[in-house]
Structure 1
Amino acid sequence: MAPVLQSLYLIVHLERCNAKDTGILLGIALALHVHELVLEVRSREVFRFPRSLLNFGTLVTLKLKNNVHMDVPSSVCNKSLRNLHLHYVEYQDQNSVINFLGGCPNLKTLTVHRYSHSSVKTFTISVPSLEKLSIYNSNGGQPDWGYAINAPSLKLLKIKGISGLGFCLIENVMELVEASIIDVSSISNENLIESLTSVKRLSLRISPLKIKFTTGNIFDHLVYLELHAYKEAWWNLLTIMLDSSPKLKTLKLINRWHCEKDYVGRGEWKQPKNVPRCFWFHLEIFIWKGYKWQREDEKQVAKYVLGNAFSLKRAIFSTKRIKPKKRAEVVKDLKSVVKDSNRCQLIFK
């Protein structure tokens, strides 16, 4: 029976070793039917991944990190590849991206880290088998630079750090179950929020002033919503999402513990004219992590939820240290507006 190499983590310093020798080591690993390969380049010099090794055979997991250059002039065939991590990899052109990903017909997980100055303007991810996609982008961008995503089997999406780009177009993701959108802003042409209407769990760390929200979007399947409650005009985002999520069961708000500067210029809380549909029949759990009981605006938001959510069963507040006497006052004040104190358990940590 031919020997099998389970995994290889190769750290390359091109100032100390020859790129040709590195290619030979990779060839040996692939010849030994390696299942997991990590290639990390720790040098300013770029390592050009050998074209002859682009068909990975039995490789299941591939991680390429830093200063790896991929030139894929035609389609490849990597049927065994399931997990792919591309950390600041550079590409010859956008066709190299298309050809490389298109040659992975059974890919399940894709993680992409990119610099804002990448030479590939349109990063196309068109992988029918893909189930989990994570995109991390360094801050900044260009108006003619962006992402085009087509993944009909996608179930989990995480996007972090996209700002100032020309577009982030997502289509054909009706199987999407969970999404996390973090620090995304100022995209000229995008349908990011509209593409998420099938999700059941959603986490947003964004400002509604810096990303497009088209009115009329309905999140019919959303049961868990997590909002970071320190972004500019986050209250408006809360109102929009509550109005758009008729079946919401859990609402979680998250604050930073110590950064008071985050609260400058956040706008003014305006109580919605109509009680959201989810408050009548579905919202059961309300969590506020980092609740700042000293702030009148946050107190108003908390009381609005507690006083209007008819089906609420549990409300959990966590905060910084508070003296016992003051704690009792805060809890009493919150309990005074709860619709049904016998049914709803209020926990103050």
Structure 2
Amino acid sequence: MDRISQLPDELLLQILSFLPSTKQVVATKVLSKRWQFLWKMVPKLAPVIQALHFKLSQACSSGDIRVWIRDADKRCVLELIIDIDICSFPGGRRSTRVSLPRSCRMLVTLKLSNAVLVDDVSSSISFPSLKKLSLISIKFASCNFVDKLLSSCPVLEDLVIHDQFQDDFIAVWRVKVPSLKSLFVHKSEYIKYLRWFCIDTPSLECLHILEKAILDVSHHNSLDPIKSVKHLELCSSKISKDACPVVFLRLEKLRVCTCGTQWMYLLMHVLGASPNLRALKLERRGSQHATAPELSEPSSVPRCLLTSLETFEWVQYEGAKEEKEVAAFILRNANCLKKATIISPQHTHRDKKFEMVKELASWPRGSRTCQLVFD
């Protein structure tokens, strides 16, 4: 090392310029007094930046943003935040178009706010190290780009989607990320129409959807991640007896698919865990009726039936033994029920419909003001 230290500055600086990272260049200052300040003289020394936050106005061009993202990746930036000022938009509408680079090898965290993401259909994108992705008030150029973006993140663990405007035409979000552990979805009060999320995340541990959740219970061991939702749709072809240990204090609307063999078990557990439920809908989506075991009534009537349930609807009701048991149980115990709507399949013969109507009308009802509608 002493012999190398005797070399002229020009040669030593050239040696330092070949080191792969700025961190390694700076580390040479501890070698000796000769090297203590030499690293500061290295030309084109890239700064060491772990996090980079841009707060921009709409005057910033898409090309500039793309260059910054590419340069951030070259400098091994781990966290990148691009926040475009919504106050600078005419009429408060997003207009700044952002085109993502083809690859960001080192980026671990990416947060984008108030922009229009443009898809370059001729090229692929890749975020091999990205673990956290936050999309706040982002408008996409196409439905396919959402799938393209998420599929480019093979190790993604945390995803945040925050909708704030209703000028985005993507009605269905498809979140298919095998590595995803946490999903947070928030719909702003300004969005009046319903946005659907199709979730296929086998590694999911935490799911927060503030307005509505749709879940296939057969892919999840617990309903705990969605205990804060107001609207919930459940479908189960199989379910563990430990799948419903939580309490849904905020749940107001529940929809249960009756296509599985254990839908009654699921229904009774969720009813018992939803003290403030106001609307219940049962519907069979499958083409064939699945025979379920006999109803095992709970030891106590669910609180929601006694104090809060106001509307009950059953679509594709065929009058099977287990269906009669469930319908009779609900009508008998729903003290606050205002309206019960029973809809039979279109192919049901009118004579059978008449028999079902007579049977339903003869059952006792806990609510004297309940209106029974049969279609």
TM category, shorter: 0.5 to 0.7
**Deviation (angstroms), 1:126:** 4.1
Look up the match of 1:12: none
Matched, 1:249 2:278: yes
Residues 233-288 of structure 1: CA distance to partner in whole angstroms, max 9, x if unpaired?
A: 111110111001111111100113x722x515x44432222111111121111100
Q: Size of the alignment, in residue pairs? A: 279
- Does the C-alpha gap of structure 1 residues 314 and 82 become closer, same or farther in structure 2, counting only changes over 3 Å? farther
Conserved 8 A contact 1:250-1:283: yes
Aligned to 2:52: none
> Aligned to 1:160, what secondary structure does the other structure show?
strand
Distance of aligned partners of 1:76 and 1:122 in 2 relative to their CA distance in 1, 3 Å threshold: closer
1:236 equivalent in structure 2: 265
* Corresponding residue number in structure 1 for 2:287: 259
In structure 2, distance between residues paired with 1:224 and 1:318? 19
Amino acid at match of 1:288: W
Structure 2: state its 5+ residue gaps. Answer: 1-57, 70-81, 166-170
1:222 positional shift: 1.4
Q: Say yes or no: does 1:206 pair with 2:236.
A: yes
Aligned partners of 2:276 and 2:304 also within 8 Å = yes
Among 200, 218, 227, the residue aligned to 1:162: 200
Q: Are the structure 2 counterparts of residues 323 and 169 from structure 1 closer, same or farther at C-alpha, using a change threshold of 3 Å?
A: closer
Structure 1 spans left out of the alignment, 5+ residues: 1-29, 35-49
Percent identity over the alignment is 23
- Going from structure 1 to structure 2, the CA distance change for 1:53 and 1:276 (only over 3 Å counts) comes to same
Match of 2:38 in 1: none
Residues 66-85 of structure 1: matches in 2 within 5 Å? 70-72=102-104, 73-74=106-107, 79-81=113-115
Q: Which of 324, 334, 345 is equivalent to 1:299?
A: 324
1:13-92 to 2 correspondence within 5 Å? 51-52=66-67, 60=95, 70-72=102-104, 73-74=106-107, 79-81=113-115, 91-92=126-127
Question: Which is greater in Rg?
Answer: 2
SS of residue in 1 equivalent to 2:280: strand
Higher helix share: 2
- TM-score, normalised with respect to structure 2: 0.59
| 1:221 counterpart SS class | coil
Matches within 5 A, 1:178-217: 178-181=212-215, 183=216, 185-187=218-220, 193-207=223-237, 209=239, 213-215=243-245, 217=246
CA distance in 2, matches of 1:56, 1:196: 29
Q: CA deviation at 1:168?
A: 3.6
Cα distance in structure 2, aligned partners of 1:319 and 1:82: 45
Contact 1:62 1:83 in 2 (8 A): yes
Q: Is the 8 A contact 2:60 2:96 kept in 1?
A: no
- Return the alpha-carbon distance in structure 1 between the equivalents of residues 274 and 248 of structure 2: 5
Provide the residue aligned with 2:334 in structure 1.
309
**SS of equivalent to 1:80:** strand
